[in-house]
Amino acid sequence: MLLVCLSTMLLLNGYTHHMFGAEPDGAVKSTGGSSTVPRSIVTGGPVIDAGPGVPRSVSPHARTIALTFDDGPDPVWTPRILDLLRAQKVHATFFVVGTAVAAHPELARRIVAEGHQIAVHSFTHANLSTTAGWRRSLELRQSQLILAGATGVSTTLLRPPYSSEPRALTDRDWAALQQIRQAGYLAVLTSQDSEDWRRPGTDQVIANSMPRSTAGQVLLMHDAGGDRSETVEALSKLLPRLKARGFRFATVSDAVGLPDPTRQAGLLDRGRGLAVIWVMRISDAVLSLLTWLLYAAGALSVLRAITTVVAARRHARMRDWTWGPPVTEPVSVIVPAYNESAGIEAAIRSLVASDHPVEVIVVDDGSTDGTADLVEALIRNEGLRWVRVIRQPNAGKPVALNTGLRAARYELIVMVDGDTVFEPDAVRNLVQPFAHPSVGAVSGNAKVGNRRGLLGRWQHIEYVIGFNLDRRLFDLAECMPTVPGAVGGFRRTALERIGGLSDVTLAEDTDLTMALCRDGWRVVYEESAVAWTEAPASLGALWRQRYRWCYGTLQAMWKHRGAMVQRGTAGKFGRRGLTYLMLFQVLLPLLAPVVDVFAIYGLVFLNPVRVMSVWLGFVLLQLVMGFYAFRLDGERAGPLWTLPLQQFVYRQLMYLVVIQSVFTALAGTRLRWQRMERYGSLQAPTTS
């Protein structure tokens, strides 16, 4: 609904500000035949009644000049022209554009209050001769409504944009004038054009405005549409000069002897007009807000790119860093399993093939697909005496992990998902940072194993660029928010000190990591501890997984918000980690739909080349980040060719997930656990 409202506002703003009015009135000349234009109109006066029957036209009285101004009101030039007219005690007719009146209703009210005549010049300065009939009707109706809302009056006078003298009318112009008359308007053309829109110089504007005889004239000038300083200067000299020659100035209706065309608008029209004005003002405000949000989103994106790349480069230089003497003590590996029959054998085989001493504890959490039976059969058939199975009724992953923790023999704990396959050296590399007593947890390097197809490649790119680059930054800043459930190491003492794992959030790994940070433990990233995980193979499965992740992360962030005001390690995590998550994993995805909608707006209403250049610039920035991240991870850069395509499907899915998660959290709805479907696509690495 917000996107629909936003799109509607941008559509309104684009129509009212960018669809028409790019050229001044005289710059567009009518073309085509004039066989249907009555001869009496071609040779007649500039005020035309194109109604049914015999068309009529009328000219101003002799020595009478109807001074008219088009395209206003303008906040700079209209007040100066009004001041000049008041000083000369001259009344004129202002043909106003509806969008300009909506932007400056106070000027329209001043025009009426000072005795000038106000008339319609369309809603958006559209060429009424070439627009479709429905758009012509819209232009007239909206102009009248805005005039009623701003000034409380309506009018029957209209000057079509890009019109000139009667003798220049074409067949299309005449058809438009006939429809205009059916709508209740008299058309006011010109008999003399000052051509001030050309800005030929003050003297030339005066020369163009001087009558060639004593016949009455409808003189065209402009109070908007650019620099009107020549108009103001010419007018200050022209008015006294014409008065001295015996000419008088009048409004259009007075000049031709017509009744006053302005009427008091009805209460309903005034209300509708005010509503249109406020909607347009809101659309302008929305566009201004979006512009600033786009600047903010762009700045955040560039800042994130620069920060993560710089941090990753510095992190890569620390690869030879040693935490202390090599850690050789045995490790307890806990594998929580619920209906993991598709991949549990490969996971167990990879763990027992580790080059580090391990015990493997499989906690079967009430599986109904024979997961525990498969593991027990594997133990019997292959004599895996360091693997054991614990069965429990289904109680959830956090409870299963706590069960395994109580059964573990050793101080160092590795937690593994049932669909994850470890490299032979992954456990050994994962536990080396525990040589330093301040380290309470270690995040490993999770990689996507099933990379075939676009969806698999996109997730692979996300893991390498997004997750692992971020973890390098978090490691340097000492504010790691998540140790992934697929590959994470923990110090048992640290886990027991915080009371084990909690089941109050759907992201138990994030909740656990944040609790460790708040308890003063350092959480680090070990890129050499590589494990292969099975990513969702369908959009539906991906949606459910990321929805749970995002919602659980929001829960954990809210639960640990107190870290923002703490000191020490907890304060670093709060002010650095939580701020980063809020900016780049919540606010940026929430701004992403705005960016996309605004991009479409720019392609339709603005300069499409510029919009495409900006978009390509951001894609190029992501490609550069991608190449660097893939190089750091020792990955082939081939999948990066799908990165531009990722912008059209995958990115939208991810930010919609964030939007749904935020609204679910704001609504106070408790989300159920979303279990991912397993495919058994991973195999244990071969070892000697």
Q: What tokens appear for 578 in the block?
A: 């939580």
Classified as helix, coil or strand, 334 is strand
Closest CA to 162 of 202, 190, 199: 190
Tally of CB atoms within 10 A around 597: 17
Q: What is the CA radius of gyration of the chain?
A: 37
Containing 424, the helix (H) or strand (E) segment is none
645-648 LR contacts (CB < 8 Å, sep 24+): 645/454, 646/458, 646/461, 647/619
Distance separating alpha carbons of residues 680 and 319, to the nearest angstrom? 33
Domain covering 2-265, topology: TIM Barrel (3.20.20)
Residue 376 tokens read as 């027990």
Q: Token digits for 219?
A: 């003189």
What totals of helices (H) and strands (E) does the chain contain, helices first?
26, 20
Residues 6+ apart with CB under 8 A from 161: 20, 21, 25, 70, 121, 122, 125, 126, 127, 128
Hey, what's the torsion of the CAs at 20, 229, 220, 242, to 10 degrees?
170
Query: Which parts of the chain sit beneath pLDDT 50?
Result: 673, 684, 686-688
Which structure tokens are listed for 255? 């000049």
Contact 374, 341 (CB under 8 A): yes
Find, among 348, 340, 331, 405, the residue nearest to 371 by Cα: 340
Between helix 588-605 and helix 267-316 the angle, nearest 10°, is 120
Q: Which of 116, 222, 356, 560 is flagged as catalytic?
A: 222
Query: Which among 221, 254, 224 has a CA at the least distance from the CA of 238?
Result: 221
SS3 track for 550-595: HHHHHHHHHHCHHHHHCCHHHHHHHHHHHHHHHHHHHHHHHHHHHH
CA-based max dimension of the chain: 119
Q: Does residue 70 have an active-site annotation?
A: yes
- Residues of CATH 3.20.20.370 domain(s) within the chain? 2-265
Comparing CA positions, the residue from 72, 64, 71, 121 lying closest to residue 91 is 64
The helix (run of H) or strand (run of E) holding residue 410 is none
Which is the catalytic residue, given 25, 70, 74, 284?
70
The three-state secondary structure class of 123 is coil
Burial class (CB in 10 A: 0-12, 13-18, 19+), 51: middle
Q: Would you state the CATH architecture of domain 296-667?
A: Alpha-Beta Complex (3.90)
Could you check whether the bond before residue 589 is cis, i.e. omega within 30 degrees of 0?
no
What pTM value is reported for the model?
0.71
Alpha-helix runs per DSSP H in 392-468: 397-407, 426-431, 453-461
CATH 3.90.550.10 domain span(s) along the chain: 296-667
Residue 315 annotated as catalytic: no
Please state the length of the chain: 688
